[in-house]
Amino acid sequence: MLFYAVGELFQTMAVKRAKANIKTLLDQRPDEVTILQDNRAKTIKAENASIGDIIQLKVGEKLGLDGDLISENAFFNTAALTGESKPDRKSKGQTVLAGMINLHSVSLIKVTAAYTDSKLSKILELVQKNATSQKAPTELFIRKFAKSIRLSLYFCFCNYCITLLFVDNYLFTKWLYRALIFLVISCPCALVISIPLGYFGGIGAASKNGILFKGSNFLDAIAEIQNVVMDKTGTMTEGVFKVQEIVFKPEFNKEEILEMVNALESQSTHPVATAIRQFAGEINPNIKLESVEEISGHGLKAILQNKELLVGNFKLMDKFSITYDIDPTSIVYTLIAVAYNKKFVGYLTIADSIKPDAKETVDKLKALHVKITMLSGDKHNVVKFVSDKLGITDAFGDLLPEDKVNKVKEIKERNESVAFVGDGVNDAPVIALSSVGIAMGGLGSDATIETADIVIQDDMPSKIPMAINIGKQTKRIVWQNIILAFSVKAIVLLLGAGGLASMWEAVFADVGVALLAILNAVRIQRAEF
């Protein structure tokens, strides 16, 4: 029982460490905020801010409290809350939540909720209260088995006393010795320490690889998964806008046009403009733009070398009667059209890029004979484009959160286990419904991380098949220990009852098997996945 207590202590420590890592992952609230008092900026502790205070949020800063936007408009990175890659444009009076990151220009926000009442704070409280460790069914059985150790004493007593009634020439020391052998063999040390230690090893191996299991029961559950259903944005894609392709007509110099577009886009704070600037690099100082004008909902217009330069969507081309020979609706990405000197130059495609290990993830899941389905709220043609590149045959777009829930319900109605992988707050309901919920912890929403059973810290989808392999390996080692312990004990018990086993065999059946099981359990710590 002392061995059992040590094994339980090891696992409890592992789960507590995983919970602490999850809490650290979630608690990204800024400690300080800048508020305006008498038109002067003052930095105070976020927890000391009051409802009605005006927060001055600089570019790149994360909002620490919920509030209403006072500035005319602002762009926020909401990936941690929504899971979608496109930055959210907020207008005056709209609600902004703690956890959003200001992307462009200084913004003013009026606090509407205290620090402890913000969405982020409430989620942290839920984590502390509800993210408790849970035991695997195998462990629960062994725990009950260990509590029945008194049965060993009863068998020992029977072996010692009842034989007195039936055996001729009864020798006290002989049968006492046999009873003690029986008692030593029947001690469940090998089981009660190696099983918790096996799960401890699995949780530890997963944590070492950036995968947090909230309980050992999820190691068993992930090992039996038949279907993996995943979100697209932020899960299999980066969740950040990037230039994908440049398609200019051959009569134009690609480098020169791109420099002109970069110079004009530097006049805008739109996220698409940011993506172009990041792609094109430094602005050419020799390009002198005149009469720069931003046409709301269309794009930018400027005069360069007495010629008109237009950069924006195809509505801008129509507005200035620029003819073009492509069908914008046939291209899945966001398009930025370019016209110069009243001629259509071409376009740039802006899109969320696929993660480098996404294809590898799909291939490994297929090798594990796991069915793969992609669900997304993005446009269906975009989802199909991504799924085709990754080799996923079942992919659905234009879905609302309730649509995702219904899709997972359909799979569960076939009596098949399903794991859902997501990162946005809209994924939290379907993660809660699935057999195993997996959250992307880097940019994942706090609600999703809190609801999930497994958290992938670095947002790498290749950790999904790794988690399945860790679960399978852990379960394999646990059952190896159970079979080893029961088999050896059963054989030596029979030999001991017949007087064919000495105390040496009894000690091996107990302590020796326990040591072998422990060595087998710690093997998972060095395993490659």
What are the φ and ψ backbone dihedral angles of 273, each rounded to 5 degrees?
A: -65, -40
Amino acid identity at 197: L
Q: Are strands 67-69 and 95-96 parallel, antiparallel or unpaired?
A: antiparallel
Q: Residues 231, 352, 378, 446: which is the catalytic one?
A: 231
Distances (CA, A) of 385 to 218, 243, 397, 497, 521: 33, 16, 11, 69, 44
Query: Do 365 and 385 meet the contact criterion of CB atoms below 8 Å apart?
Result: no
Residue of 332, 338, 370 lying closest to 351 (CA atoms)? 332
- The answer to whether the beta carbons of residues 97 and 122 sit under 8 Å apart is no
65-102 burial code (b ≥16 CB/10 A, e <16): bbbebbbeebbbbbbbbbbbbbbbebeeeeebbbbbbb
The terminus-to-terminus CA distance of the chain in angstroms comes to 33
Answer whether 77's CB lies under 8 Å from 100's CB: yes
Q: What DSSP state is assigned to residue 522?
A: G
- Rg of the chain (C-alpha set): 32
Nearest partner of 272 among 196, 351, 331, judged by Cα: 351
Residues 52 and 111: beta-carbon distance below 8 Å: yes
Mapped onto helix, strand or coil, the DSSP state of residue 457 is coil
The rounded distance, in Å, linking the Cα atoms of 371 and 39 is 59
Coil, helix or strand for 393? coil
Residues contacting 278, CB < 8 A, separation 6+: 242, 243
Residue 231 falls in the annotated catalytic set: yes
Where are any strands of DSSP class E within 103-225? 107-111, 211-213
Torsion of CA 33, 34, 35, 36, to 10 degrees: 180
Query: 48 and 34 in contact (C-beta within 8 Å)?
Result: no
173, two tokens: 């020391």
Give the whole-angstrom CA distance, residue 98 versus residue 45: 15
Tokens of 289: 């733009």
Token output for 205: 């191996």
Burial of 137 (0-12, 13-18, 19+ CB in 10 A): exposed
Which amino acids are annotated catalytic? Answer: 231
